[in-house]
Amino acid sequence: MGPLVTHPVPAHGKKQGPPIRRKVKHEQWLTLVALILSDVTLVFLVWQIASLLQSIWGRGPLSDVTVVGIVPFTAMWIGLRALLGLYPGYGWSPVEELRRQTYAVVAALAGTAIVGIAFHVGDMISRLLLISSLLGLLVLAPLVRYFAKWQTLKIGLWGKPVVIVGSGKAGAQVVRLLEKEWQLGYRPVAVFDSRVAPAEGVLEGVPYEGTLIEAMFSNWNQAADTVIFAMPHAPREHLAKHIAWARKKFRHVMIIPDLSGVTSSGVVARDLAGTFAVEIKYNLLDPWALRTKRGLDFGATVVGGALILPLVLALSFLVWLELGRPVFYRDWRTGQDGKLFSCVKFRTMVPDAEALLQRMFEEDPSLREEYSKYHKLRDDPRVTRVGRFLRKTSLDELPQLWNVLRGEMSLVGPRPYLPRESGDVGVAQSEIRRVPPGITGLWQVEGRNRTSFQERVQTDGNYVRDWSVWLDILLLARTVKCVALSRGAY
């Protein structure tokens, strides 16, 4: 994640002239050009690779019609991405951005095929070329876009200035959130408070510009078109007055309501005969959603399992050399609907590990406190040398692919909790047990082992409420990154 980029905010009460607005507009145009150029370059790169595959496995070199067809295809793809709001794409979550990028790729390839049939050149367009291009763009487009945004962030171009209304805990939380989720493209440049600004004059590094009353009657004018109200407990009449002021100065007005514990990605605004309402969708209550998830799990496990079989055999040999038989460790876990199943992992601990743990608690009470909070020990003497490597890289979880094939687990899902942890999970287990537990999940990607047990439970509940196919794909991709960097595991 990159650092939060903030632009200098001038002294309170001074009107910002055209130079600052021109500077921001210039930065946004440069960002737009950079994103489009990266996408165009990607299309030509993927097309060249697809052409090479066509010449090797297809019907020989591409025809002139097919070569010329790259230009309208590129224009169609860029146009679709623009219509879907991906240029520059400020405000889209990674899940929503992945969904829109996938739609753009599929629609562009479908459009190319339809045009080829309409102009009677369909026979000259290679199916291998279309399939290769489709797979290449589906995999590479999100990676290239992430890299392009990261590069523009490093040189201070990515993101647009936003104003935060509301300080204290709520305002600070919004600033920290925008700093963490830099891909959203919102960079706070000023904070207004409903009270008198504190002496230090900053909130999480963002300057205060005064109170709301002062803002409403001053000539303050920053080159920002978006304001975020972080006043969840403000009286409705006061909030309505502030919003009426904001509508005169900002093109986009965002309000953070007091809906803590409610899902975010499944929320849809509704107009009920002029009355504002919020509809909350729980995708995993749809039986077809669970069938889709199961189908993806099975297909990905069969293909992926075949590819990593040599790695599993090599790791099994290393465990056998250090610990002997058995190579695998089985333990009961709580699955979907509270059913118990035998979870399979590589052995990473010495024999009689549970008895040794109790002796360690008696000798050092601080270890009991650490285990009570995290349900893990950072420096666990029970873990073997090979086991330490397997845990750090999370490769000890690979045998759980067998549990996925049996339908007892999913590739992505909540943590497979121990039966004795049921009391610690509490009331959240009724929600978490709606779906099979996963080899990886939201908490593993976001915090790994740095999070406390209760934070993991809360994160698992968020996953169940926010589930979508796109979220699973995103978490699988982020898991690969975490494993490659061995980040946060022990």
**What does pLDDT average to over the chain?**
80
**Sequence-ordered alpha helix ranges (H) in 325-407:** 353-363, 365-374, 385-393, 401-405
Does residue 210 lie within any of the structural domains?
yes
Whether residues 55 and 175 share a domain: the answer is no
For residues 129 and 415, which has the higher predicted lDDT (pLDDT)?
Answer: 415
Q: Which of 294, 430, 409 is nearest to 343 (CA)?
A: 409
At residue 93, the pLDDT reads 87
Q: What φ, ψ does residue 429 adopt, rounded to 5°?
A: -65, -30
Mean pLDDT across 19-42:
86
Whether residues 342 and 423 share a domain: the answer is yes
Over the stretch 4-16, which tens digit does the pLDDT of each residue have? 434 444 444 444 4
Whether residues 133 and 173 share a domain: the answer is no
| Window from 223-227, 333-337, 351-355, 424-428 with minimum mean pLDDT | 351-355
Whether residues 36 and 143 share a domain: the answer is yes
Question: What does pTM read for this prediction?
Answer: 0.77
Whether residues 181 and 147 share a domain: the answer is no
Give the confidence band of 62 by pLDDT, cuts at 50, 70, 90. low
Whether residues 308 and 455 share a domain: the answer is yes
Whether residues 169 and 137 share a domain: the answer is no
Distance CA(457)–CA(432), nearest Å, equals 8
The residue segments making up the domain with residue 301 are 287-348+383-485
Does residue 279 lie within any of the structural domains?
no
Distance CA(218)–CA(180), nearest Å, equals 32
Identify the helix (H) or strand (E) that includes residue 272.
Answer: strand 267-272
Distance CA(266)–CA(449), nearest Å, equals 27
User: Quick check: 60 pLDDT over 60?
Assistant: no
How many structural domains is the chain composed of?
Answer: 3
Whether residues 145 and 165 share a domain: the answer is no
Mean pLDDT across 206-219:
69
Distance CA(124)–CA(115), nearest Å, equals 12
Last residue of a domain, one of 154, 184, 208: 154
Mean pLDDT across 168-191:
86
| Window from 73-87, 236-250, 306-320 with minimum mean pLDDT | 236-250
Give the confidence band of 218 by pLDDT, cuts at 50, 70, 90. low
At residue 386, the pLDDT reads 86
Distance CA(165)–CA(241), nearest Å, equals 13
Does residue 365 lie within any of the structural domains?
no
Does residue 85 lie within any of the structural domains?
yes
Angle between helices 365-374 and 353-363 (to 10 degrees): 120
CA triplet 110, 112, 117: central angle to 5 degrees? 95
Whether residues 82 and 142 share a domain: the answer is yes
User: Quick check: 361 pLDDT over 80?
Assistant: no
Last residue of a domain, one of 111, 130, 154: 154
At residue 229, the pLDDT reads 87
At residue 408, the pLDDT reads 92
Whether residues 309 and 204 share a domain: the answer is no
Give the confidence band of 206 by pLDDT, cuts at 50, 70, 90. confident
Last residue of a domain, one of 154, 171, 200: 154
Whether residues 125 and 234 share a domain: the answer is no
Whether residues 468 and 435 share a domain: the answer is yes
At residue 121, the pLDDT reads 55
Does residue 63 lie within any of the structural domains?
yes
**Sequence-ordered alpha helix ranges (H) in 121-228:** 127-154, 168-180, 212-217
Mean pLDDT across 327-344:
90
Residue 8 in contact with residue 210, Cβ under 8 Å? no
Percent of the chain at pLDDT exceeding 90: 22
At residue 343, the pLDDT reads 93
Mean pLDDT across 51-74:
65
Give the confidence band of 65 by pLDDT, cuts at 50, 70, 90. very low
For residues 454 and 327, which has the higher predicted lDDT (pLDDT)?
Answer: 327
Does residue 359 lie within any of the structural domains?
no
- Reduce the DSSP state of residue 189 to 3 states and report it: strand
Distance CA(34)–CA(22), nearest Å, equals 18
Does residue 8 lie within any of the structural domains?
no
Does residue 469 lie within any of the structural domains?
yes
At residue 283, the pLDDT reads 79
Token pair for residue 451? Answer: 């999070």
Report which listed range, 151-165, 210-224, 263-277, is most confident. Answer: 151-165
